[in-house]
Chains A and B, each alone.
Chain A
Amino acid sequence: MQSTIIAEQKMPSVEAQGGGTPFLEVRNLEKRFGGVRALKGVSFTIERGRTYHLMGENGCGKSTLIKIISGAQPADGGELAINGKKTEGLTPIGALAAGIETVYQDLSLLPNLSVEENVALTQQLVASNGRLARRLDLKVLRETSIRALKEVGLPTEPAFLSTPVEELPIATRQLIAIARAIASDAGLVIMDEPTTALTRREVDNLIRVVHGLHAKGVSVLFVTHKLDECKAIGGQAIIMRDGLKVAECDVSTQSKSELGFWMTGKKLDETRYRVDAHGDETLLSVEQLGGSGFDNVSFAVAKGEIFGITGLLDSGRNELALSLAGVEPARRGSVLMGGKAADLSSPASAIAAGIGYVPEDRLSEGLFLGKSIRENIVMAVLDRLRGAFGLLDSRRARALAQKTVDDLQVATPDIDNPVTSLSGGNQQRVLIGRWLTIEPSLLILHGPTVGVDVGSKDTIFRIIQRLAGDGMSVIIISDDLPELLQNCDRVMVMRKGRVADVFTAEGLEEDVIYKSMMAEAGQGVQ
């Protein structure tokens, strides 16, 4: 009963699209945390059926803004009007009931629940107004989930519906999160950095789904700092800096450097960072390497060279990286470091062979989140810092950590602060710093700027260039093509577990790499 009433209420608003009241009006929103003013009076309007990008560097207040709109935090001043009606004391369930669905970076999916439940449970929860003592309507659950999954182009057979979400790849999960928004009849879908873990093809698919939402009068607000994707998706940019809205414009009318300027207040280079030439001496030589997901991979990296590797998620690039890091040892072929056979049977032996590996997922694979910055940096060289009685020489450890922090310009007042107190870009620098302490001759960076804002990106790129200039070889594995083109000497494209092409990066067009990634990979995404 309740769900039909909700559906009836929704109908007129969809018909009214185009004219009339905007979906959401944000007026003079303010928020304080202790003495810090996170939002200093932000106003904007979300019309129906359009795309918006909320842009800004980490700490600019965009996350706080999203939390207020989604009812997770109360505002200290200002007001929100949904469908022209002013709302007070918005709660998460209230925001959902009003048609605001927020897809956080972790996608807010429950890993252990099935696809069907993840898609359609929220709708029943909203229908019962958050009260849990209700019978579950399995028929409605199934019908709702099938309807929503069809719209995002996912399968609807029972086997898929009952699969736990944790067993699905990230791109599928992304679409499931969108399907949930459709199932709950959302008027606005907020997506917090939705594309960080997706490849190009998956981003294209996401864009298609977003256009489908617009046709139904649903607006989408992307929260992002990836300039390339904003340009690719198009729409209205709302740019924030330091708790204020500094600009609002159509993304297509602005160049990337103009958008970057609004976000950072600094002029950013779009040009290549890579200027130095490297020597001819070969450091790493991979011959006929094969393992799970890749085979017959051969390439060489010179001393001081920056070598990029890209490909779709299933191209074997991740598996190749893990085998070089000793995490998942290869089964066939050989790897030479400086002409000598390298033992890469475990992470420890890879480190001994001079290979440092900075994983893609900082939070779960790289950093010890409960520990301080200092402890995180010295983690890999504890036995070198042994003092009397085999105990840690804390003076030397502190000195090493401080030097690393200074070298890499990590923004922190104290190296004993927890590593979680840092922004994404600074955490990434701590992680790179840890691997620099082992003084590797080859540093493998997996997605070095995933979840990192524009300003920090710049610093990380400069660090990479300096390291290469000092003679360290660097391998960057990434699906951020501009990042590879700006930094690398050569870019290797992998496809279906094999080496597809190796390009010289200078003067290379993104399109060439993209085509090589996609060639004969099958266009039938859906």
Chain B
Amino acid sequence: MANAAATVAGMRDVPAAIRIMRWFIRHPPAVTFLLVVILCIVVGTINPGFWQVSNLFDMARSTVVRGLFALGVLVVLASGGLDVSFTAIAALVMYVITMLVTNYAPDLSIWPILGIAAASGAILGICNGLLVHALQAPSLIVTIGTQYAIRGFLLTFIGTALFMNIPESMDAFGKLALLRYEGANGAVATLPAYFLVLVVAASVTWYILNRTLIGRALYAVGGNAGIASRLGYNLRTVHVFVFAYAGLLAGIAGIMHVSSNRLANPFDLAGSELDVIAAVILGGARITGGSGTVLGTLLGVLLITLVNNVLILVGIPSTLQLAIIGLFILAAGAMFSIRPKS
């Protein structure tokens, strides 16, 4: 039977080039990794300034919010859904919490703030999940709806003014340094402590996806929801969980955004959904669900961040960067469409 399987896959007598190609097709994150490496080498060669510690720290800093979003999208995408409401959730959570804390509890420390943000994000996510399950509608449509509703609610009833004076604890958390590096010219570069939030979130997400029943269940539902429910997986639990988890991460991402920018702007974050989804897809998750890894997603985020932040170093205008991201996505799409199918 193993022989039969091998014959069907056609593994005999194929040239090494094609075997390597096949290996890459089966391991999409490797392709992303290769692109990241090539991009670093090219940019680093043209402009050695790329390898400066301050630049690397900057990049790490700017992966945090996008990375948190992307982990949420990964979980939803793996279960066969699609979420575009996470930026709206993040904007609402960050703005309301910043406002409430500033006005009523200016001395609140960062941990309860993060806890409240995570919980409120999760509650909004649960609403998404229940709607998706109850309406039996494609989650893309449902979350487009909730995205508009949440954003409209925020701008109409909460406010449109910028918060320039964010609470002390959030400001301090944004400045807290994990690593400090003094360059030869005396300039100081810091890697912010909140980078650890992404590390923790990635580890937790990896654990959930790979070491728990709910993790396997959501891949099962993403593979084929009908079969999964016949096998005894509870679709409602899975739907609610994935959107709640994405909402939770979005809530935390909102606070990270405020802490790092030192202001809360209710118009922020809107429009970056596709950027995030693109990162997850570049990381090897299929848009149709049932696949995707944490490592791939992080690489996808890194790739998008590189393109966004670094191409400027070699004199490529930001408008052209968009075209480059587009080409990467097209290449990834073409690559993954020739993945082995049944």
Contacts and interface: CB of A to CB of B under 8 A. Distances in A.
B237 A167 contact: no
Contacts of B8: 168-169, 314
Nearest to B289: A112
Given A92-B232, A169-B8, A155 B212 contact: no
Given A111-B223, A132-B237, A172 B4 contact: yes
A111 B340 CA distance: 12
Nearest to A524: B3
Nearest to B207: A135
B76 interface: no
A132 B4 contact: no
Interface in B224-246: 224, 227-234, 237-238, 241
Contacts of B4: 169, 171-172, 314
Interface of B (DSSP majority class): helix
B213 interface: yes
Nearest to A95: B232
B223 A110 contact: yes
Contact of A132 (B9, B213, B223): B213
Contact of B231 (A125, A154, A163, A526): A125
Nearest to A149: B1
Interface in B203-231: 210-217, 219-220, 222-224, 227-231
Given A110-B227, A112-B222, A126-B232, A172 B1 contact: yes
A499 interface: no
Contact of B1 (A70, A104, A175): A175
Interface stretch (A49-57, A116-124, A418-426, A429-437): A116-124
A112 B291 contact: yes
Contacts of A314: 4, 7-8
A113 to B, nearest CB: 6
Interface in A82-126: 91-93, 96, 102, 104, 106, 108-113, 117, 121-122, 124-126
A106 B4 CA distance: 21
B262 to A, nearest CB: 38
A388 interface: no
Nearest to B4: A169
Nearest to B8: A169
Interface string B57-75: 0000000000000000000
B12 interface: no
Nearest to A108: B227
Contacts of B222: 112
A172 B1 CA distance: 7
Nearest to A167: B340
B2 interface: yes
A106 B217 CA distance: 19
Interface in A471-526: 525-526
A261 interface: no
B232 A110 contact: no
Given A96-B232, A112-B223, A136-B212, A163 B5 contact: yes
A381 interface: no
Contact of B290 (A109, A112, A121, A171): A112
Contacts of B215: 136
B342 interface: yes
Given A160-B2, A166-B342, A172-B1, A132 B234 contact: yes
A130 B7 contact: no
B211 A121 contact: no
A273 B213 CA distance: 55
Contacts of A154: 1
A169 B212 contact: no
Contacts of A109: 227
B1 A133 contact: no
Interface string A172-212: 10010000000000000000000000000000000000000
Nearest to B241: A132
A509 B162 CA distance: 87
Contact of A124 (B210, B213, B340): B213
Given A117-B216, A133-B214, A525 B231 contact: no
Given A112-B222, A125-B213, A132-B237, 20 more contacts: A91-B232, A96-B231, A104-B230, A110-B224, A121-B220, A125-B233, A132-B234, A134-B212, A135-B213, A136-B211, A153-B1, A155-B1, A157-B2, A160-B2, A160-B5, A163-B5, A166-B342, A167-B9, A168-B8, A172-B4
10 contacts: A96-B231, A104-B230, A108-B227, A108-B231, A130-B233, A132-B212, A132-B234, A169-B5, A172-B1, A175-B1
Give 9 closest A-B pairs by Cβ, nearest first.
A112-B290, A93-B232, A112-B223, A132-B214, A110-B223, A166-B342, A155-B2, A134-B213, A92-B232
Interface of A: 70, 72, 91-93, 96, 102, 104, 106, 108-113, 117, 121-122, 124-126, 128, 130-136, 138, 153-155, 157, 160, 163, 166-169, 171-172, 175, 314, 525-526
